[in-house]
Copies of this chain bind each other. A is one copy, B any other.
Amino acid sequence: MSGGSRFGEKVLPSRAMSDDLTTLVTGLAERAKEAARVLATASTEKKDAVLRRAAEALRGEPGDRVLEANARDMVAAADMGLSKAMLDRLKLDRERLDGVADGVDQVASLPDPVGSVVEERVLDNGLRVSKMRAPLGLIGIIYESRPNVTADAASLCLKSGNAVLLRGGKEAFNSNTAIAEIFTEALKAEGLPPESVTLLPTTDRQATLVMIGLDGIVDMVIPRGGEGLIRFVAEHARVPVIQHYKGVCHVFVDRSANHDMALDIALNAKVQRPGVCNSMETLLVDESIAPTFLPKLGAAMSAEGVEIRADDRAASHLNGVKRASDEDWDTEYLDLILNVGVVDGIDDALKHVAKHGSNHTEAIVTKDEVNANRWLREVDASLVLVNASTRFNDGFALGLGAEIGISTTKLHAYGPMGLAELCTLKWVGQGEGQVRQ
C-alpha cells in the first residue's frame, strides 16, 4: 500500500540532528526577536550611527577580513566546480566591497520610516485618527550566493527598526559571516543588541525549514534567489512569505503608438540589461501596424544580437526568424532572446498578458488615452506602464532609495519593497476623553 512510510533505525540519527537544529535555530530566532523589541524604539540617530559605522568598517581593516573570507569561499567554490557566472556572483574585491559600503551609507541617509504618520483625519466626535509606520519585528531573509545581500538586508532591516535573521548560501558562508560580524560589532558599539543581525551558523536545509516554521517569532520571510528557492520556501513556510517569482514582462505596441518611441522602449527593455527580472521577454504588436513596425523592430533587434522567436503572423513580417514554441511565451529568458507576437487589438493583448504574464511589469506604447487607461486599470502586475520601459520596475528607479526585492504577491506589498514596505501601519487615535456611544 502506498503512502505509509515506516520509521527505521536509520532515521533516528537524522531526527536527533534535526532536534538539535530546531533548538539552535529557535533559540537564535527568539534572541533576535528580543532584539527586535529594543530596535523597534531605537532612535533614528542610533540606527544611522550603526549603519555609518558598519560602512566605515567595510571600507577599512574589517573589510579586509571580509575579502580574506571571500577568497576562502572562492577557492572552495572553484573546487566545488561552480559555474563562472556563480563564481562572479560570489566574488568580492575592494571595489565591490566599497560599493556595498556605499549602499549601507545610502540607507543611512534615507528618512526613517518608523513613526511616520499617514492618512490623518479628524472624526466627527473629535477623535484624531491616523496611521503610523511601525516595524514588523523579525524578518527572515533566505538568499543564495551573493554576499552583498547580507549587508543590503541588514541595513534595510535595521533602518526600518526590524531585526533580521539571515540564511545565506553555502558557497558564501565565510563572506557572509565576516559581513554579519561587522554589523554585530557596530550594533554593540552603539549600545544596540548585536542579535539584531543574526546569521544562521549553518546552511543546512533543515535549518531553513525550522526558520520558516517559526510562526509567531519570525514575522515575514523574503526569499531572494531562483524560482526553486522561492517555491521551496513558499511551500514549506508557516510564516508569511513575500514572493518574487520570475518576470515574464511584455511590451504591447498599440496601433496608435509612435514607432520611434516604441522602438526605443523595446530596445531598452530587451538589451540594456537582459539578465534581470524587469527586462522584456515578449513584444506584442497590433496587427494593423505589424507590417510597418515589425521590419524596423527586426532590424534593430538583430543589430543588437537579439534572437527573435515569432508567432506565424509576426514571422511573415520578419526575416528568417524562428517560430516561438508554446513554452517560449512563458519563459523568462534573462538573455538576448525575444518573443514577438501579433495581436488583434488591446483586448487580445490583455488576454495574452493575463495568460502569460507573471504579475511583474507590463508596458503599453500608445497615444490612445482610452487604451492607456484600460491598460493601467485592467493589467494585473506590480508595475503597469504607459510609454516607458519595463526596466523601471526597481526600488531605485522608482525613487524608493533602496529595495529589498520586488514582490509579485499582492498581499502586503506589490512591486519594489523599500523601507516603508518593511513596516506595518498601525492605527493611532488621539482624543480628549471620547467614548463610544
Contacts and interface: CB of A to CB of B under 8 A. Distances in A.
Interface string A208-226: 0000000100011000000
A184 to B, nearest CB: 24
A398 interface: yes
A195 to B, nearest CB: 17
A391 B431 contact: no
- Chain A contact surface mostly: mixed
Interface in A36-92: 37, 40-41
Given A6-B4, A354-B37, A377-B115, A424 B433 contact: no
Contacts of A40: 378, 380
* Number of copies of this kind of chain in the complex: 2
A414 B430 CA distance: 18
A384 B428 contact: yes
Given A234-B215, A410-B219, A436 B268 contact: yes
A238 B380 CA distance: 22
Contacts of A310: none
A358 interface: no
Interface stretch (A121-129, A170-178, A286-294): A121-129
Contacts of A272: 435-436
A417 to B, nearest CB: 11
Interface in A112-156: 115, 121, 123, 127, 129, 132, 134, 136-137
B415 A381 contact: no
Interface string A261-283: 10011011100110000000000
A433 B415 CA distance: 21
Contact of A383 (B220, B240, B378, B427): B427
A429 interface: yes
Contacts of A129: 398-399
Nearest to A37: B354
A411 B240 contact: yes
A431 B268 contact: no
Most B-side CB within 10 Å, residue of A234, A376, A391:
A376
Interface string A409-437: 11110111000000011111111111110
Give the size category of A's interface with B: 35 or more
Given A240-B240, A240-B411, A414-B424, A387 B7 contact: no
A320 interface: no
B411 A427 contact: no
B4 A393 contact: no
B424 A392 contact: no
Contact of A261 (B6, B382, B411, B433): B433
Contacts of A381: 426
A256 interface: no
A385 interface: yes
Contacts of A121: 399
A386 interface: yes
Contacts of A132: 376-377, 384
A397 interface: yes
A384 B5 contact: no
Nearest to A239: B411
A427 B382 contact: yes
22 contacts: A4-B6, A41-B377, A41-B378, A132-B376, A132-B377, A235-B238, A240-B240, A258-B433, A261-B433, A268-B435, A273-B436, A376-B430, A381-B426, A382-B426, A383-B428, A383-B429, A384-B426, A384-B428, A388-B431, A388-B434, A389-B436, A410-B424
Interface of A: 1, 3-7, 37, 40-41, 115, 121, 123, 127, 129, 132, 134, 136-137, 215, 219-220, 234-235, 238, 240, 258, 261, 264-265, 267-269, 272-273, 354, 372, 376-378, 380-389, 391-393, 397-399, 409-412, 414-416, 424-436
